[in-house]
Chains A and B, each alone.
Chain A
Amino acid sequence: GAGVSQSPSNKVTEKGKDVELRCDPISGHTALYWYRQSLGQGLEFLIYFQGNSAPDKSGLPSDRFSAERTGGSVSTLTIQRTQQEDSAVYLCASSLTSGNGDQYFGAGTRLSVL
């Protein structure tokens, strides 16, 4: 596709439920990132995939958060046993490995945990 695609655009769930958020990066981009943006805040790094290397998980806030990237393309961010403080916009970005940090962002998934 032309840009980074994320689905769903909105997700409402009940506390304690698991959720899966999907990201389709730009074709040919080998780097993929997940960020979290709480209301009125900046973006908080969560996890980063680069090609076939082990992902950088240093930003994941707890072991309830995990992510996969299958076939070097699509990525899924999973939040288990959701809590109200998980409510935020989850943004995915992708970039080429050309040595610059120019990342292209999707529109995000707005997660609301009731």
Chain B
Amino acid sequence: GESVGLHLPTLSVQEGDNSIINCAYSNSASDYFIWYKQESGKGPQFIIDIRSNMDKRQGQRVTVLLNKTVKHLSLQIAATQPGDSAVYFCAESFIQGAQKLVFGQGTRLTINP
């Protein structure tokens, strides 16, 4: 069946360093991908998205890379801050209409002071 998975369940980085979180997806028909951040006790919060006609998109301190050939997605966070500590999920969907999201298992990112 369709699935989205993450390579690493946990990641620790030093404050100020860059971090990279990876994700693999299996549905080649998906054309819309989103990264969410979830802090303890809260719902997921949208970070950045990318459509399948792009291979890179940048936001504030975050960059998402999409490699459709190998069905791989990554989230890069630059100059990490303590507030970046959270669980990060990738999700896949379709651009056409509002669609359900298929989520990966999540990666817990810990920023060490």
Contact = CB atoms under 8 A, between A and B. Distances in A.
On chain B, which size bracket covers the interface?
Answer: 20 to 34
B76 interface: no
A103 B107 CA distance: 20
Interface stretch (A13-21, A67-75, A104-112): A104-112
Contacts of B91: 43, 101
Contacts of B43: 4, 91, 93, 105-108
A92 B96 CA distance: 21
Interface in A26-73: 30-31, 33, 35, 40-45, 48, 50, 56, 59
On chain A, which size bracket covers the interface?
Answer: 20 to 34
Interface of B: 4, 32, 34, 36, 41-46, 49, 89, 91, 93-106
